[in-house]
Amino acid sequence: MGRRQNITKITPTGDTIWRTVAPNRYANRSWDARTIVEDAQGSLLLAGDSELQTGGAGGSSNQIHLVRFTGAGRLVSDTMLFRAGDNYARSAMLAPNGRGLVFSGYTTAGPRGGSDLLLGLYDGFRPLATAPGGAAVAPLQAYPNPVSGPTARATVALPAATAGGRLVLHDGLGRYLGAQPVAPGARQAAVELAGRPPGLYLLRYEQADGRRYLVRLLRE
């Protein structure tokens, strides 16, 4: 959840995991998140509105604001996209390269002088060298890979003496598809792609001690 430069991460049952306040680095502006997406590294990409209180009859000036946090709530990127008129972001998804952000919304200064829809691509985000919590993102082994057949099941080899955690599945565009728990001490886990369309999938193991592991699975 993001509101007035605050972002809060909660569990599915509503418990707060962490809360961060990120002041706008642009003078006299404040931002609200309108949409939040998660990339394959667990980073949170926010698209929303940056508002400048101007006073007078106009009241405010609004521009599209893009913010990136690590999964642990550390601010790593803060960008405002400026163009004439008031501009608002309302939805976003990861670009096919897995790190850019495709966003849509509307503008009050369309090509014919009125309001119009807009669609943009921001490719300024870069992969983080470390995962949330400062642990390196290490490769994860899975076999078979590619997977095929009615079950399309892959067996994931987990790190020795794992602290437990969860396996998180994303599609090739970075969209979240689901997660499954991993018990402490487990040496392997089965991941099924049955019923999912052919293509590339990203599987991330989020270990309870903060370490992150990643493998790309191909579904034939």
Query: Confidence class of residue 190 from pLDDT cuts 50, 70 and 90?
Result: very high
Task: State the CATH architecture for 137-219.
Answer: Sandwich (2.60)
Question: Does pLDDT of 196 surpass 80?
Answer: yes
pLDDT tens for each residue of 79-116: 888 887 888 898 988 877 666 788 899 988 777 777 89
- Residue 18 contacts residue 9 (beta carbons within 8 Å): yes
What pTM was computed for the model? 0.56
pLDDT at 155: 92
pLDDT tens for each residue of 53-74: 665 555 567 888 888 888 778 8
What are the structural domain ranges in the chain?
2-122, 137-219
